[in-house]
Every structure is written in structure tokens, then in C-alpha cells.
A and B are shown apart, each in its own frame.
Chain A
Amino acid sequence: NAGVTQTPKFQVLKTGQSMTLQCAQDMNHNSMYWYRQDPGMGLRLIYYSASEGTTDKGEVPNGYNVSRLNKREFSLRLESAAPSQTSVYFCASSVDNYSNQPQHFGDGTRLSIL
């Protein structure tokens, strides 16, 4: 039982390049989330998927797109990377998004945009 798995763990991109961050969970959770973490800013929600087949914007969605591929997988895409997107990205999942249950986080992807 691996929990939430993110790939890659590290990535360096040039401005304007695109890439997709992958996330998969094996806990049969319905809800999945993408956060970015910057120094002093806590965890800011980019996008979330309340259930398979649905996605919604969070607090900071600009410059990102997401795909809920199936119940297990939720990917985050940067179409044209910018230096302001340099951050640590965390994927999380939860049983659902309406009961009082915690989120489970992946190990993060450390992304640098040059």
C-alpha cells in the first residue's frame, strides 16, 4: 500500500517548456488535490477533483491544467512554464470532500523553472 505516489520527484525546466506532473493513489479515495508550497505561503490549492469525472479550480489555477484520468490518477500540466511556477508541488487525496476525513499527501515534486 504505497498511498499517494508522485512522479517525478525533481525537475528542472526552461521557461516556455511544458510538462505533466503525475499522481496516483491506491487507497480507493474519491477526491484528489494539487497544491503548491512556497516559503511562508503554506499550501495553496491549485485544482481539485471531488470525484472521478469532475475537476474544479482552487485558489491559484492560472497557468495550470488538470486531468482526472481515472479514480486513481490525477495529473497536473504546465503548458508554458514560467519562473513564478518554481515551487514544490504536492498531490493529496481523501476519502471524499464532504466528510471530516484528513488528506493524505504524496512526497512532492520539486520543480525549478529557469
Chain B
Amino acid sequence: GENVEQHPSTLSVQEGDSAVIKCTYSDSASNYFPWYKQELGKRPQLIIDIRSNVGEKKDQRIAVTLNKTAKHFSLHITETQPEDSAVYFCAARSGHASGGSYIPTFGRGTSLIVHP
């Protein structure tokens, strides 16, 4: 099955700096890569996603890049703000059914701390 590695586990930056979180995946058939943000005590919420026919996607201060050859994808946050502090999860979903279904596999999360 799919295996997703996420690094770093903790990332501390100063307000205004950029933050980069990286994920690698094992299944070359994976074709959908969402990113979720989870604030303390809250639910994970989708912030951006990318599909395998696209190399980069941007939404204001956040962007995701995908390198299918190397099987890795990254989340980039520019001009970080204290409200960006949260745990971020990447996920990869295979285009091949495992047991008849396509279930995303999550990374273990990155705790981003933005210092004012």
C-alpha cells in the first residue's frame, strides 16, 4: 500500500518568513494530493489540493508543488502570520484500488509555530 513520509515534524519560524513542508510517497499510481490544516482542538480542514496532471498550484499565500518523477510534493507558505500556527497534514491517494477502494494515506503531520 501507499506510504507517506512528512518532514519536518516541527517547524518554527518568525512572522513574515516562509515555511516549507515536504512529503514523499511510495505509490507511483497516486494522483491526488490534499493538504489539511488542523488548529489546536479543531477539525482538519482542506487548505489546498493538487492533482497529478498539475505541477504547481497557488492560492494567495499558500502553494503546493508536485514532482511525480521524484514522488514528492511540498506545501509553501509565504509571509507567515501567527494565525498560520497549526498542524499541517499531507495525504496521497492512489489511482489504483486497494481492496476495491481508493483511500488516502496521511502523513504524520507538521506542527508549524509562527512567532510574532
Chain B nearest CB from A66 CB (Å) reads 14
Bitwise, A48-59 to B at CB < 8 A (1) or not (0) is 101000001010
**Interface range for B:** 20 to 34
Bitwise, A82-114 to B at CB < 8 A (1) or not (0) is 000000001000000110101111111000000
Q: Contact: B104 with A103, CB < 8 Å?
A: yes
Q: Contact: A50 with B101, CB < 8 Å?
A: yes
Closest-by-CB residue of A relative to B31 is A100
Q: Contact: B101 with A56, CB < 8 Å?
A: yes
Q: Contact: B51 with A100, CB < 8 Å?
A: yes
- A:1-58 near B, CB below 8 Å: 33, 40-45, 48, 50, 56, 58
Query: A44–B46 Cα gap in the complex (Å)?
Result: 17
A-B pair number, CB within 8 angstroms: 52
Q: Contact: B89 with A98, CB < 8 Å?
A: no
B76 close to A (CB within 8 Å): no
Residues of A within 8 A of B100 (CB): 50, 56
Report if A90-B43 is in contact (Cβ < 8 Å); known contacts: A98-B101, A98-B102, A100-B32.
yes
Chain A nearest CB from B50 CB (Å) reads 10
A interface majority secondary structure: loop
Q: Contact: B109 with A42, CB < 8 Å?
A: yes
Residues of A within 8 A of B43 (CB): 90, 105-108
Closest-by-CB residue of B relative to A4 is B43
Q: List 10 A-B contacts (CB under 8 A).
A: A33-B103, A40-B9, A42-B89, A42-B109, A50-B101, A100-B31, A105-B36, A105-B43, A105-B45, A108-B43
List 4 additional A-B contacts (Cβ < 8 Å) besides A42-B6, A100-B93: A40-B109, A90-B43, A105-B36, A106-B43
